[in-house]
């Protein structure tokens, strides 16, 4: 068990900089998730930590020991790969015991530890099988077993669930979290799935184009995203964005949504713009009351939960690569979503009133796309 530190890590391939100024401290026992769209550098960061990719600059320390120039075998880490990377010519027993054998443990001890791990992961009946005779879920457990049997100071997991079907993924997700809590081993987990990140992590690192966007707990990232990208990436369905004017009356600022005037939590002094970008999560939009009147374009019903689609008011559309391209829900950039749980029946084309609660509106700098907040001003990334 150990802390993990990245200090000014850089990575470039030829002239292309894949990772820039990567600074991160992961505390002992943390479950830290690197999340971001594909190509954001999260797997590269993990491979550098594993020693499978050399760094182009900076230092990596595991448990206070500088491991930057050590080979993967000397870093006291274990890794679970996306494709499991089980040794196909070896039995499950040999797969799990391979690392122990490489570290020169006596056979009796290897057998004992393998049996112990197989018992934890319910693999005892399959120890003599080859990986090809196992199901996807069982293979995944062998890959986990290979990692935990070594009792390393850190687990590194590179999208270990992406090859499982949806149901098994949810089940295994919970199992991994439970296992990690039980063993207390510092874990770095890479995924592109923000739901996985939110449900598993104690600490999330959101990355984009090789740069850390924000580091924080799932709640921090959800409630106070540092910028447009994080706001759009975290949460499902993603945050709605719209452009709006900034109107000031003394120290109080307002914006307008479909004509309705909304007071902003951010004081006027912090908004030296004529207009800004605003965001609100689909679950925070209130239906009814005295809000602006809009027409529903589509109603998706999931029983009591409904996703209501409506057009962003004309002239207020915000269309930006920062948010749309990287998000996984395929919504039209000019439409907004509201997520409601009620017993009302909605129909396509129906006119409803939507109210955006002022304390739930996120305000972003229209130029830098960083979030602006009432109490602490700009959030540091």
Partner 1 sequence: MRNHSLLGKIGIYAAVAATCGLLLFPIYWMFITALKPANRLRDFPPEFWPENPQWNVFADVLNSQPFGLWMWNTVLVAIATMILSLTVGTLAAYALSRFRLRGGQGLGLFILTSKMLPATLLIIPLFVVFRSLGLTGSLWSVIIAQSTLIVPFATWMLKGYFDTIPPELEQAALVDGASPLGAIVRIVLPVAAPGMAATALYAFVISWSDFLYARTFLTTSESKWTLNMGIATLKGEFVTDWNVIMAASLMAAVPIVGVYLFLERYLVGGLSAGSEK
Q: What is the C-alpha to C-alpha distance for residues 238 and 233, in angstroms, rounded to an integer?
A: 6
Site residues (CB under 8 A) for partner 1, limited to 191-250:
none
Q: Which of 103, 112, 181, 182 binds partner 1 (CB under 8 A)?
A: 103
Measured from the CB atom, the residue of 46 and 371 that comes closer to partner 1 is 46
Measured from the CB atom, the residue of 105 and 115 that comes closer to partner 1 is 105
Q: Which of 33, 44, 67, 131 binds partner 1 (CB under 8 A)?
A: 131
Q: Which of 10, 25, 130, 268 binds partner 1 (CB under 8 A)?
A: 130
Q: Which of 36, 41, 51, 145 binds partner 1 (CB under 8 A)?
A: 51
Site residues (CB under 8 A) for partner 1, limited to 274-313:
none
Least Å distance, CB 197 to partner 1, is: 21
Least Å distance, CB 204 to partner 1, is: 24
Nearest C-alpha neighbor of 156 from the set 182, 201, 186 = 186
Name the pairing type of β-strands 65-66 and 57-62. Answer: antiparallel
Q: Does 189 bind partner 1 (CB under 8 A)?
A: no
What does the DSSP 8-state code read for residue 191? E
Measured from the CB atom, the residue of 73 and 349 that comes closer to partner 1 is 73
Least Å distance, CB 147 to partner 1, is: 9
Nearest C-alpha neighbor of 28 from the set 152, 147, 161, 184 = 184
Q: Which residues are CB-neighbours of 213 under 8 A, at least 6 positions away?
A: 36, 206, 207, 226, 227, 229, 230, 381
Measured from the CB atom, the residue of 142 and 338 that comes closer to partner 1 is 142
Least Å distance, CB 164 to partner 1, is: 8
Site residues (CB under 8 A) for partner 1, limited to 52-71:
52, 71
In the chain, what are the helix, strand and coil shares in percent, each to the nearest 5? Answer: 25, 35, 40
Could you tell me if residue 40 is left (phi over 0), alpha (psi between -120 and 50 degrees) or otherwise beta? alpha
CA atoms within 13 A on the CB side of 114: 25
Q: What is the C-alpha to C-alpha distance for residues 166 and 72, in angstroms, rounded to an integer?
A: 32
Residue with tokens 């709640």: 219
Rg, Å, the chain Cα set: 24
Least Å distance, CB 98 to partner 1, is: 5
Measured from the CB atom, the residue of 139 and 327 that comes closer to partner 1 is 139
Structure tokens belonging to residue 65 = 């020991």
Site residues (CB under 8 A) for partner 1, limited to 69-98:
71-73, 77-79, 81-89, 98
Site of interaction with partner 1 (CB under 8 A): 50-52, 71-73, 77-79, 81-89, 98-99, 102-103, 130-134, 136, 139, 146, 150, 163
């Amino acid at each position: 068990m150990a802390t993990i530190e990245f200090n000014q890590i850089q990575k470039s391939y030829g002239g292309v900089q894949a990772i820039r100024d990567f600074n991160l401290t992961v505390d002992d026992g943390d479950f830290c998730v690197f999340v971001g769209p594909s190509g954001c550098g999260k797997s590269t960061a993990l491979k550098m930590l594993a020693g499978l990719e050399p760094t182009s600059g900076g230092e990596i320390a595991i448990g206070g020991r500088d491991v930057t120039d050590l080979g993967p075998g000397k870093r006291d880490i274990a890794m679970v790969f996306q494709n499991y990377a089980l040794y196909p010519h070896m039995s499950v027993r040999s797969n799990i015991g391979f690392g122990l054998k490489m570290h020169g443990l006596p056979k009796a001890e290897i057998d004992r530890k393998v049996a112990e791990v197989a018992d934890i992961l319910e693999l005892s009946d399959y120890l003599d099988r080859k990986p090809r005779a196992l199901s996807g879920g069982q293979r995944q457990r062998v890959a986990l077993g290979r990692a935990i049997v070594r009792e390393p100071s850190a687990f590194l997991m590179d999208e270990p669930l992406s090859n499982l079907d949806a149901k098994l993924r949810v089940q295994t997700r919970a199992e991994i979290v439970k296992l990690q809590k039980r063993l207390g081993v510092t874990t770095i987990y890479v995924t592109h799935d923000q739901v996985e990140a939110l449900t598993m992590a104690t600490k999330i690192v959101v990355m984009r184009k090789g740069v850390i966007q924000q580091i924080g707990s799932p709640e921090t990232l959800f409630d106070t995203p540092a910028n447009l990208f994080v706001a759009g990436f975290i949460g499902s369905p993603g945050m709605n964005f719209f452009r709006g004017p900034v109107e000031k009356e003394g120290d109080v600022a307002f914006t307008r949504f479909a004509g309705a005037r909304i007071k902003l939590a951010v004081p006027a002094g912090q908004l030296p713009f004529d207009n800004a970008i605003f965001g609100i999560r689909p679950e925070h939009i209130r239906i009814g009351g005295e809000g602006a009147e809009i027409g529903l374009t589509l109603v998706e019903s999931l029983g009591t939960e409904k996703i209501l689609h409506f057009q962003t008011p004309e002239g207020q559309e915000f269309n930006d690569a920062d948010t749309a391209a990287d998000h996984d829900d395929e919504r039209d950039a000019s439409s907004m979503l509201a997520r409601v749980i009620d017993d009302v029946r909605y129909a396509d084309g129906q006119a409803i009133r939507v109210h955006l609660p002022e304390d739930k509106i996120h305000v972003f700098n229209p130029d830098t796309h960083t979030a602006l907040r009432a109490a602490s001003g700009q959030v540091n990334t």
